[in-house]
Amino acid sequence: MALALYQQISEDLLRKISSGVLPVGTLLPTELALMATYRTSRNTVRMALQQLQARGLISRRRNRGTLVEALPGGAATFTQSLSSLDGLVTLASTAQREILAADDVVLDAAMAKGLRCPPGSRWYHLAMVRREAGKPRPLGWTDAYVEPHYRQVRDMAEQQPGMLLVDLIEAMFGRRIETVEQTVSSCAISQEMSQPLGVAKGTPALRVLRHYRDAARHLVVVTRSLYPENRYSMTTTLVRSGAAQSRA
């Protein structure tokens, strides 16, 4: 049986993503451009894009276009494209949060060094995993440290597992995050983390430390995430800040 036109378009775009013609981190042509290319209606184009979006390969945002997020056929790898905070929103909506524990902590010297925070600082700690739909093993483990007076965010975080903690804090308290400082390093999974992540002790992993700051540069949230090998990769888009100066 012949494929419907929207399925043919979806398959063609899939081939272009797989071959690198449309690499992860780039924008797809606009709906109008796709309508012209495939000589079809807007509704047919949208149905084709919905097929790709349902597979987690693209994300669509009003007035921002359609972004290629991942390669098809990756065994268990979530590929995240980061050119702005929107990439974190995509991660949150695709791999949803499950909170396992919460407590108040005071950072000792070792914890403070690992989190790059002042020793003795107080935080409300949330331990959580992120899971992709239909996959038994979690994508990764995250320890989130929130300013203590925002502890009420936990209840909303459980009700809205697809929203970032910082977006929930903004919605509930009006505190807006303007910058995220991110440090990525390699590590090995500890014995403590091996069981919840379903891997052997010593398995290579990515460690991602993020500092979320408001407009005044005050630190509001710190997260430290562990992703075992072959479960997560990251694509970062770098844009030149200004035009190059011409030489005399």
Longest Cα–Cα distance in the chain = 67
Confidence tier at 229 by pLDDT (50, 70, 90)? confident
The per-residue pLDDT for range 20-70, each reduced to its tens digit, is 788 877 889 999 999 999 999 999 999 999 888 877 788 887 777 888 877
- Tokens 């919840």 — which residue? 196
Residue 218: is its pLDDT beyond 90? yes
Backbone φ and ψ for 97, nearest 5 degrees, come out as -80, 140
Backbone φ and ψ for 209, nearest 5 degrees, come out as -105, 130
- pTM for the model: 0.62
Range 157-185 average pLDDT: 89
List residues bridging with 125 in a β-sheet: 103, 145
Confidence tier at 174 by pLDDT (50, 70, 90)? very high
The per-residue pLDDT for range 96-123, each reduced to its tens digit, is 889 999 999 999 999 999 999 999 999 9
Q: Give the angle subtended at the CA of 242 by the CAs of 241 and 247, to the nearest 5°.
A: 140
Residue 209: is its pLDDT beyond 50? yes
- Tokens 């070792």 — which residue? 110
Specify the pLDDT at position 152.
Answer: 93
What sign does the dihedral 212-214-215-217 (CA atoms) show?
negative
Domains in the chain, CATH or no CATH each: 5-68 (1.10.10.10), 78-236 (3.40.1410.10)
Residue 150: is its pLDDT beyond 90? yes
